[in-house]
Amino acid sequence: MSSDRDRGTTRPAGSEQSAEARLESWREALRRHEADDVEGRTERLRARMATLQEAGLDTDEAFLVAMMRQDRDDPVARDVAREQAAVFWRRFDRAPAPEGDTAVDWREVGVVALLALGAGVSVKLGVAELDSTAFGHNVALLVAPFLGAYFAWKRRVSWRTAAVLLLATAVLAVAIDVYPFDVGGATGFLAALHAPVVLWGLIGVAYAAGRWRSTAGRLRYLRFTGELVVYYALIALGGSLLVGLTIGLLTLAGVEFRSVIEDWVVPMGVPAALLVAAWLVEAKQEVVENIAPVLAKIFVPLTTVTLLVSVAVLGAVGSLTTVDREFLITLVSVLVVALALLLYTVAARPAGQRPGFFDGVLLAMVLAAAAVDGVVVTAMAARTAEFGWSPAKTAALGLGVLLAVHLVWSAWRLVAMLRRRDGVAALDRSQAAVLPFYVGWAFVVVVAVGPVFGFV
């Protein structure tokens, strides 16, 4: 068996893990996918690795070969094998790209282009035909179906799943456009604010190809969402810069082009960029996965500091009923950011990674968020008891209670993981399990809060 040097491969120092570390990584991935007979699968993989090592392969080589030969007809095993192989190759500074990885699927490019054009035309027509209030209520409905259609096509979603998604979207559209919301009323605003969350959940079902109940499917969708935000922000930043430069250059040349950009480029380009960003994330996940986790490691400590300052400020306030309403809304926004960071950080955790210092920082953020959320819920309850119920208080209290349960549960799982130095799969399951509750609460706000409060 030739050495790494003979094969021309540069292996970083310490890159080869022990057999037990590799097997533990495989075991954790199986648990994340909720596979049956985890220990039996692991023992079979151990036996194959031992045979390959006796034949002269090193630990990493034996792990890769044995893993790719394990239960080839099992879709769960295939998913785990792909994940583990991707983690392995990212450990090498000059790892060769898998064969065919650089090829462009022009059929997919064509589908994305058509859907991006459709999203742009949809928004353009919405701008032209709807007033500002109606457009604001419908903007998510004008774009999200095209993103959902992309994943339904790419994942080959069954007709049954597609029919359920279409029905749920139709119910959402009826609630947004048929309910007699008062112009400028709170219930209409809350419905428009929560509709994107419901649509995000529906797109997730398409993304997971109907396997929304699986922990792995939900975590992959969380990773995709975080990476999509990063790519879309980069596209928006670069697009804004180019548009600004184009306007400046044409103005110097005496050409008036601003109206064309405002009337066509922006309404068509902004929604189309979302489809392009989704395609880029799908095509180049290995690249973007190096960006989003780094941003999470930056913003988790910063968010923790903000939450701790909020706790100190709230502690200095006398009666909670005197807390400014706008300040409470700001705190809820910070809590939503903390929630997004928690979900993405857990979802983006590399397979087999042991608990470490950053998990302690994440725990500090979760505890600080739980403290702030407790104060916010108490303040909301106090204001409700004194001034009565309102649509906004109902929506905020429901979210606050859901956040409280989620954050306390997450803190418990993180402490258990740090104490035992394991339990990563249990933490994954806990985060994946809460997603339907957030989507469900958003759906309740859209379809039920308006009728309950008379659409005011």
242 and 147 co-located in one domain: yes
Non-local (6+) Cβ contacts of 382 within 8 A are 319, 320, 321
Whether 431 is in a domain gets the answer no
258 and 231 co-located in one domain: yes
Q: Give the integer Cα–Cα distance in Å for 320 and 376.
A: 9
Domain extent at residue 245: 107-285
272 and 298 co-located in one domain: no
Q: Give the integer Cα–Cα distance in Å for 148 and 172.
A: 15
32 and 124 co-located in one domain: no
Tokens representing residue 192 in the block: 């428009």
Q: What percent of the chain has pLDDT over 70?
A: 85
Are the C-beta atoms of 112 and 279 separated by less than 8 Å?
yes
Domain limit, last residue, from 89, 117, 140: 89
Residue 6 has pLDDT above 60, yes or no: no
- Using DSSP's 3-state secondary structure scheme, residue 13 falls into coil
53 and 142 co-located in one domain: no
Q: Is 274 exposed, middle or buried (0-12, 13-18, 19+ CB in 10 A)?
A: buried
Whether 4 is in a domain gets the answer no
Non-local (6+) Cβ contacts of 218 within 8 A are 204, 208, 212, 432, 435
Closest CA to 161 of 215, 197, 202, 108: 202
Map tokens 């606050």 to a residue: 400
Are the C-beta atoms of 266 and 240 separated by less than 8 Å?
no
Whether 430 is in a domain gets the answer no
Residue at 269: amino acid letter: G
118 and 32 co-located in one domain: no
Are the C-beta atoms of 102 and 118 separated by less than 8 Å?
no
130 and 252 co-located in one domain: yes
Tokens representing residue 274 in the block: 């979302």
66-125, pLDDT tens digit by residue? 777 765 556 677 677 767 666 665 554 334 444 444 456 789 999 999 999 999 999 999
Tokens representing residue 455 in the block: 């659409």
210 and 195 co-located in one domain: yes
334 and 376 co-located in one domain: yes
Whole-model pTM: value is 0.77
20-75, pLDDT tens digit by residue? 777 887 887 777 776 777 788 888 888 888 887 777 777 777 887 777 776 555 66
Total tally of structural domains belonging to the chain: 3
